[in-house]
Amino acid sequence: MRLTDQSKELFAASLKHIPGGVNSPVRAFRAVGGEPFFVDRAKGAHIWDVDGNDYIDYVGTWGPAILGHAYPDIIDAVKKAADHGTSFGIPNPFEPRMAKLIKDLFPSVDKVRMCNSGTEACMSAIRVARGATGRDKIIKFDGCYHGHTDSLLVKAGSGALTFGNPDSAGVPKEFTQHTVVLPYNDADAVAQALEANKDQVAAIILEPIVGNAGLILPKDGFLQKLRELTSQHGTLLIFDEVMTGFRVSKGGAQELYGIKPDLTCFGKIIGGGLPVGAFGGREDIMNYLAPVGPVYQAGTLSGNPLAMAAGIAALEALKSGEVHQRLEQLGVRLEAGMKQAAADANLDVTFQRCGSMFCGYFGKDPVYNLSDAMKCDRDLFTRYFHGMLERGVYVAPSQFEAGFISAAHSEEDIDKTIEAAAESMKHIRD
């Protein structure tokens, strides 16, 4: 790894003041060893560390940078909004514009409520689902991560999974007793759980495409079966599209698979790189929220004008669908090259992709659930990660995270990435 003196000094200073030296666990590089580099600036598909080293970036601030870093229209929108003030705590004109954009792109959404993070969006969607149904229990899936809310931090993916301890200290058992955890892609298990907990399950929440245990796609018919089962049992279906929303298609995974959930959680892209979240869905359910209904949810910074302005600029650029056509072309190019690199190196790599999201698991079998993902060779991934970093390519510092292509990536960036992967894999083999 090309760790520089300035990054070392900054990390040493951070360790004195911040737990683990980072403000989000995966950033610490514990899963891959070594210490993190510190970023000075980002532009397009590239990031530069504090010593000027240039990396092709496939983390994309964990998804929001679908148009590339420092996208001019987003930067201009934020600057103009900031001239009028950074926060008001009272409605601003950007809020209804953002809500309408989301509704236009997601037909399942009749009304939408802004909040400040994906975690808050999922927490609030579950609360309103419980309020609307009068039921307590929820169903989630192994490997699906919905933020660090107590009742959802059960066998979660992402950062919690990276450290091999899916549950978290500090979460009382009583907080999770109403959470039923099932294997992803197992419709029979869902049917059995709904029967065993008849008239008790308020909602099923899931990432329709799992992006926090690598990248796991739904089997044919799985999402459709969930829609059928929830409708039969009076249970609400919640799609956590914080990661996939506006990313895998302009209308998210629900457009891609033709499913209409009752509630949807948003984040990432709708903030254009600024902190934001939202949740929306059927009008009758959303009207349970205060001040119309009895379910309380609030936030001083909800609908923040800077975040709304940035998100509007991002969604305006995406709504034609042309960006997604470009992303698919780049995704096809990367997938073909990475598979060839693995074959040439005589390594077993399962490369899974949906549009501009991807993951390469070091193993020979397809990955359909968390149990499959856990069989991959994490030691090989660690060596691969450092090999890529040394060659100027930054992928997520964990086997259990998705990668992201941006519209700012060029064919040259993709080809350089494939070349770096071929060299890294050959080095692993040798």
The one catalytic residue among 49, 142, 240, 372: 240
The one catalytic residue among 268, 368, 372, 384: 268
What are the E-state strand segments in 321-383? 350-354, 357-361
Q: Kindly state the tokens that stand for 164.
A: 């091999």
Q: 145 an active-site residue? A: yes
Query: Residue 395 CA to chain centroid, in angstroms?
Result: 15
Q: Which residues contact 166 (CB under 8 A, 6 or more apart)?
A: 154, 155, 156, 157, 160
Q: How far is the C-alpha of 125 from the C-alpha of 51, rounded, in Å?
A: 43
Q: 426 an active-site residue? A: no
Q: How far is the C-alpha of 172 from the C-alpha of 177, rounded, in Å?
A: 9
Is the torsion defined by CA of 76, 80, 82, 83 positive or negative? positive
Determine the Cα angle at 27 with ends 16 and 140, to 5°.
125
Name 277's bridge partners.
Answer: 115, 267
The one catalytic residue among 55, 145, 368, 394: 145
Do residues 119 and 149 lie in contact, with contact meaning Cβ atoms separated by under 8 Å?
yes
Do residues 282 and 262 lie in contact, with contact meaning Cβ atoms separated by under 8 Å?
yes
Name 57's bridge partners.
Answer: 394
Task: For the chain, give percent helix, strand, coil, nearest 5.
Answer: 45, 15, 40
Do residues 49 and 16 lie in contact, with contact meaning Cβ atoms separated by under 8 Å?
no
Q: 100 an active-site residue? A: no
Do residues 113 and 280 lie in contact, with contact meaning Cβ atoms separated by under 8 Å?
yes
Active site residues per annotation? 145, 240, 268
